[in-house]
Structure 1
C-alpha cells in the first residue's frame, strides 16, 4: 500500500488563515495505491480536482474507487441540507465538464466505482437519470455490503 497526494483541502473544522478553502496538494488529502505486484487498485475517497499528475497515476488502472460525494456542486444547497458547495468542501462533482465522469473519459480505467456518496446524490436512486448516466459512463455505484471479486 502506497499513499499519494491528491488535490484537496483541510477539513471544514480545521480551516483557518486568509484562504481557508484553498485547494492544496500538500498531503491534507491522500489516496492509496494497493498492489499485489500485478494488479493495482486506487482508493481516492476525496478529491477536489483532476490534475495532470493524478491523471497519469489513474491511467490504465485495474480498479479505482473514487470520490462520488455530489452529482452537482450546489446539490446540498438546493436540497436545503447544507450551506456549502461541493467545491467549497473539497469535492469534485460527478457530473459536468469538470466533473469526475468527464475527467475519467479518456483514462482507460478497467473498473471504476463511485464511493463516499452523500445521501443527497441522486445516483443512489436506482431509477434516477443520474444513476443511469453514471452507469452509462461505465461507473459502478458503491452500496453497503458491496464486495469486489478479483
Structure 2
C-alpha cells in the first residue's frame, strides 16, 4: 500500500502536480524572476492593510495568521534597470522595509526614488522608514503631485523628512513625463478616487520594448473621463485595481462607499470591448478577495478567462 502511494506521488510530481495537504497550494505556473533588460517587479499585491488584515479572525485570514508563508505584502511594484542597477518603487507601503530589502538584494544598489500614487495609508506611510529613527536617508527623490507634495511638507511627521533632507520632493504634473534613464520614462495621470488629502494618480511606464500602466486604486471605470479600454490597448501590461472580486464581499457594509471596480465587472467590460486579457494583471487585493487563495473558484475563473492575478516576485519586461 505504501509503495503504491509513493509511486503515485512520484508520478504526480513528474506531471508537475504536487501532492499536498495544503488546501490552497501555490499556482503551478512558474513565476519569472529575472530579465536582462529593464523590467517591473511585483513587490506586493494586497490592499493597504496587507494580508492577513488587522483584527481579521475570519476564515479568509485565519490560515495566514498560522502560516507566515501565506502572508502577502501591500501592493507595490518596482522599476528596475539592470544595466545601471538603478531602481524605483511605485508607492511606499507599510511593508517598505521588506520590499526595500528585496530590492537592494536584487540590484545591489540603494533606492533611486519613489513615485507616490496618493495619500492613503497603504501607499505612502512607508516613507517613515527613511527618517532619523530608522534609515536616516539622504535626499531620496520622492515624486508626487502638487496636493501630495503640500501634504508632505505641511504635516508631521512627513514634514520632518523634508526639513532633515531625508527625502527630496520632486514635483509631478499630470500627463507630463519623467525620464528616468534614456530608455525608461514614467508618466502620471489623474484617476478618480477618494481624495481626502491628495489627488490620486496612476502611472504609465515606458521601457525600450514594452510599456505598462499601474492603477492600484480607482473608483468605477465609468467615473473616469478617460477610456480604460482604449488605454489598455496602448500598453503591453496593465496592472489594475482588483481590490474586490464582486459585490457583497464585505458582509454588513454598503460597498457603494468603497466604489472600486469589481474584478468580475472589469472582466466583463474588457471582454465586451474585445481587449486582449493577457494584457491585464489584477493587483491590490483586499483580504476578503477570494482570488488571494490559489485554488479558489474565483481565481480559476480569472485565469480561465485569460486574465492574470499578480504574484509577489514576478517580473514583467519593459
Query: TM (normalized to structure 2)?
Result: 0.37
Inter-partner Cα distance in structure 1 for 2:233 and 2:279: 12
Structure 1's consecutive aligned runs of 4 or more residues displaced over 4 angstroms after TM superposition are none
2:229 corresponds, among 37, 55, 58, to 55
* Mapped contact 2:277–2:305 kept (Cα < 8 A): no
Inter-partner Cα distance in structure 2 for 1:74 and 1:39: 37
Give the deviation of 1:67 after TM superposition: 0.6
* Mapped contact 2:302–2:308 kept (Cα < 8 A): yes
Judging by fraction of residues, say which structure has more helix: 2
Give the deviation of 1:111 after TM superposition: 2.6
2:199 corresponds to 1:28: yes
Give the deviation of 1:9 after TM superposition: 2.5
Distance 1:7 1:108, change over 3 A: farther
2:299 corresponds, among 116, 125, 131, to 131
* Mapped contact 2:243–2:284 kept (Cα < 8 A): yes
Residue 90 (structure 1) aligns with? 259
Q: CA RMSD in A?
A: 2.3
Inter-partner Cα distance in structure 2 for 1:38 and 1:142: 21
- In structure 2, the residue corresponding to 1:75 is in which secondary structure? coil
Deviation by residue 1:38-72 (Cα, 9 ceiling, x = unmatched): 42100010121224533222224200111110011
Give the deviation of 1:29 after TM superposition: 2.6
- The correspondence of residues 65-80 of structure 1 with structure 2, limited to 5 A, is 65-77=239-251
Count of residue pairs the alignment pairs up:
128
Distance 1:37 1:147, change over 3 A: closer
Give the deviation of 1:103 after TM superposition: 2.1
Residue 100 (structure 1) aligns with? 266
Inter-partner Cα distance in structure 2 for 1:45 and 1:92: 11
Instruction: Point out the structure with max Rg over C-alpha.
Output: 2
